[in-house]
């Protein structure tokens, strides 16, 4: 069966570079004489039949923008069998042959369940700053988020040095310590706290003492969200070491901003490859990168396997933090 209509949506939390991926999907489809439909507000748009055909002009002037011009959401109705059936009927109503889903772990899980349940052809593109998708070294948005964190580290280090303080910088991660670890290595962090390791408060306090006694007048510690109560750690560090300590939670600033060149190019390549695959009749797959090469991964494998923590980077962070 020839593919004549493809739909694209962004789902879950936004990530810088999503617009670049959408742009590539749209223009690749048009270049191959395939009609392309944009679904607004993620899976909610599928359920509500909120979609329209896009043109090349529709995606002009978006490659440099963060967020997603299609909008995104968390749709409870799509999590029900009735909601997914309605989404299927809406796609068929527009004679759409394949769906490209741009999003993170939860979005890809929804895509896999949708195809398994309805038989509708789905292809995934990983887009999440947490970089927690199995089978790909990077996801769209990760590089931009790291650079945002590095900017914060640079600025916080200035005030840390001025006041002889220890700063704990909490970054996002969604139970994955990649973002904190990578940022610690790139940003010269003195310590990294991640969910992949047991939260050992005594070990952290002792290392802060050791580094301080060894001549470090200020410290920058990277902590992944959900690893422990950082407010309590700050209080105990101050009480037991006498070192002025502060916590900075970067929060949603990590998700925003204009995507880096790396994210724009990566998103464009994945968008093109996903669209060409859909046109060729491939489905139930997700595209990613391994050792610099674009790869095609089974969608179910991507959502059922846990991404390995980069122990080599963790070791490097430890070695060069002295």
**pLDDT, tens only, 253-276:** 999 999 999 999 999 999 999 999
Q: Does 24 count as an annotated binding residue?
A: yes
| pLDDT, tens digit, 9 for 90 and up, residues 7-32 | 999 999 999 999 999 999 999 999 99
State yes or no: 218 annotated in a binding site.
Answer: yes
Residue 299: per-residue pLDDT: 98
User: Annotation-wise, does 172 bind a ligand?
Assistant: yes
Domains 5-141+259-304 and 144-255 equal at CATH topology level: yes
**Residue 173 among known ligand-binding residues:** yes
The pLDDT, as a whole number, for residue 321 is: 81
Domain positions in the chain are 5-141+259-304, 144-255
- Is 106 marked within a binding site? yes
* Residue 157 marked in a binding site: yes
Does the annotation flag 39 for ligand binding? no
- pLDDT on residue 226: 86
Query: What pLDDT is attached to residue 228?
Result: 87
189 is in an annotated binding site: no
Mean pLDDT of 145-165: 97
Q: Is residue 77 marked as binding?
A: no
Instruction: With a cut of 90, say whether residue 242 has pLDDT above it.
Output: yes
111 annotated as ligand-binding: no
From the options 3.30.420.40, 3.40.1370.10, 3.40.50.460, 3.30.590.10, give the CATH code of 144-255: 3.40.50.460
Identify the bridge partners of residue 221 per DSSP, sorted by sequence position.
168, 191
Does 174 show up as a binding residue in the annotation?
Answer: yes
To the question of whether residue 289 is assigned a binding role by annotation, the answer is no
Q: How far apart are CA 294 and CA 139, in angstroms?
A: 12
Q: Find tokens 């899976």 and name the residue.
A: 43
Specify whether the CB–CB gap between 60 and 21 falls below 8 A.
no
SS3 (DSSP) at 249 = strand
Q: Is 161 annotated as a binding residue?
A: no
Is the pLDDT at 109 greater than 90? The verdict is yes
Is residue 44 part of an annotated ligand binding site?
A: no
Give the residue ranges of DSSP H helices in the chain: 18-31, 43-48, 81-93, 105-118, 142-163, 178-187, 201-213, 230-241, 261-279, 299-304, 311-319
Q: pLDDT for 37-79, tens place per residue?
A: 999 999 999 999 999 999 999 999 999 999 999 999 999 999 9
Mean pLDDT of 242-252: 96
Residue 1 has pLDDT above 80, yes or no: no
| 66 marked as part of a ligand binding site | no
Distance CA 260, CA 316 (A): 25
d(CA 88, CA 49): 10
**Of 322 and 65, more confident:** 65
- Asked if residue 89 belongs to a known ligand binding site, the reply is no
45 among annotated binding-site residues: no
CATH code of the domain occupying 5-141+259-304: 3.40.50.450
Mean pLDDT of 290-306: 97
């Amino acid at each position: 069966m020839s593919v004549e209509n493809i739909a694209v949506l962004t789902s879950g939390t936004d990530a810088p570079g999503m617009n670049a991926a959408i742009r590539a999907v749209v223009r690749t489809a048009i270049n191959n004489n395939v009609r392309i439909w944009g679904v607004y507000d993620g899976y909610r748009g599928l359920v509500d039949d909120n979609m329209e055909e896009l043109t090349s002009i529709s995606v002009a002037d978006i490659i440099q923008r963060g967020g997603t011009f299609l909008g995104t959401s968390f749709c409870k109705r799509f999590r029900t069998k009735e909601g997914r059936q309605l989404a299927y009927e809406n796609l068929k109503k527009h004679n759409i042959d394949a769906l490209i889903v741009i999003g993170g772990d939860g979005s890809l899980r929804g895509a896999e369940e949708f195809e398994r349940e309805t038989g509708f052809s789905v292809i995934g593109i990983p887009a999440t700053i947490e970089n927690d998708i199995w089978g790909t070294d990077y996801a769209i948005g990760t590089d931009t988020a790291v650079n945002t964190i590095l900017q914060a580290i640079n600025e916080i280090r200035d005030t840390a040095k001025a006041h002889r303080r220890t700063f704990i910088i909490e970054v996002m991660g969604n139970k994955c310590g990649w973002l904190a670890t990578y940022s610690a290595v790139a940003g010269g962090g003195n310590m990294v706290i991640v969910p992949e390791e047991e939260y050992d408060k005594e070990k952290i306090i002792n290392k802060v003492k050791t580094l301080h006694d060894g001549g470090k007048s200020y410290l920058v510690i990277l902590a992944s969200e959900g690893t422990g109560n950082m407010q309590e750690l700050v209080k105990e560090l101050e009480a037991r070491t006498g070192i002025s300590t502060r916590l900075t939670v970067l929060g949603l600033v990590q998700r925003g901003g204009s995507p880096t060149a790396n994210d724009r190019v990566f998103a464009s390549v994945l968008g093109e490859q996903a669209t060409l695959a859909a046109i060729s009749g491939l489905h139930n797959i997700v595209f990613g990168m391994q050792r610099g090469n674009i790869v095609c991964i089974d969608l179910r494998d991507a959502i059922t396997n846990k991404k390995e923590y980069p122990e080599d980077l963790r070791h490097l962070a430890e070695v060069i933090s002295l």
